[in-house]
Homo-oligomer: A and B are copies of this chain.
Amino acid sequence: MSAPSTPDGAGAGAIRVLLADDQALVRGALAALLALERDIEVVAEVGRGDEVVPAAQASGPDVCVLDIEMPGADGIEATAAVRRALPGCRVLVVTTFGRPGYLKRALAAGATGFVVKDTPARQLADAVRRVHAGLRVIDPALAASSLVEGDNPLTEREQDVLRLALTGAAVADIAGGLHLSQGTVRNYLSSAIGKTGTTTRYEAARVAQERGWL
């Protein structure tokens, strides 16, 4: 495979890529996949969100390929941090769950591309190239459902109580954790249940999470 010229005129240099995924096997496999491309070079691999920026600063990638669910910091936080620390570096988010809420937050955080792990493997390298060229790479179906779903209707406090509800905490525990009264917590829960169209706080939390609202 011949090496194409890079859009910014840098000549024969390969696209330098940093990979972040908490699963070592998946990360290594993705590195192997990208290493097949002569114009792409994997220069760093990390397994935690909070290792992305230090590793990027040390290795100087052109593109960061980031999973979302990682310890230390999630991929969206890492995206924002990368954009701040290395403005010339572009971010491609690669995630298991194609959640419209994730897509929106990723783009808001500065990601150039967003693909899900259902994507055919051969498209990953192309996505990296396109992102490197400054082109948007977003799964069309996901973009469509993101438009349909609209913005997150939950207030900050509603999100707070739902996050604790996800852990199975009782109203009294949530109240204690957020320094609110139990009645207030019940009001926020009830409101969140209404906005998600569910009947219990557990369902509300799950649906909010699925939509990327949490």
**Residues in chain A within 8 A of chain B (CB atoms):** 22-33, 36, 94, 96, 115-124, 168, 170, 198-200, 202-203, 206
A200 touches B168 (CB 8 A): yes
**A172 CA to B168 CA in the complex, in Å?**
21
B24 touches A28 (CB 8 A): no
List the B residue with the shortest CB-CB distance to A170.
Answer: B199
A25 touches B168 (CB 8 A): no
**A29 CA to B119 CA in the complex, in Å?**
11
**A160 CA to B31 CA in the complex, in Å?**
41
Residues of B with C-beta under 8 A to A31: 121
Residues of B with C-beta under 8 A to A115: 25
Residues of B with C-beta under 8 A to A120: 24-25, 28
Known interface pairs A29-B33, A33-B32; A24-B118 also in contact (CB < 8 Å): yes
**A132 CA to B23 CA in the complex, in Å?**
24
Known interface pairs A29-B30, A30-B29, A32-B33; A24-B168 also in contact (CB < 8 Å): no
Known interface pairs A24-B120, A117-B24, A121-B24; A168-B199 also in contact (CB < 8 Å): yes
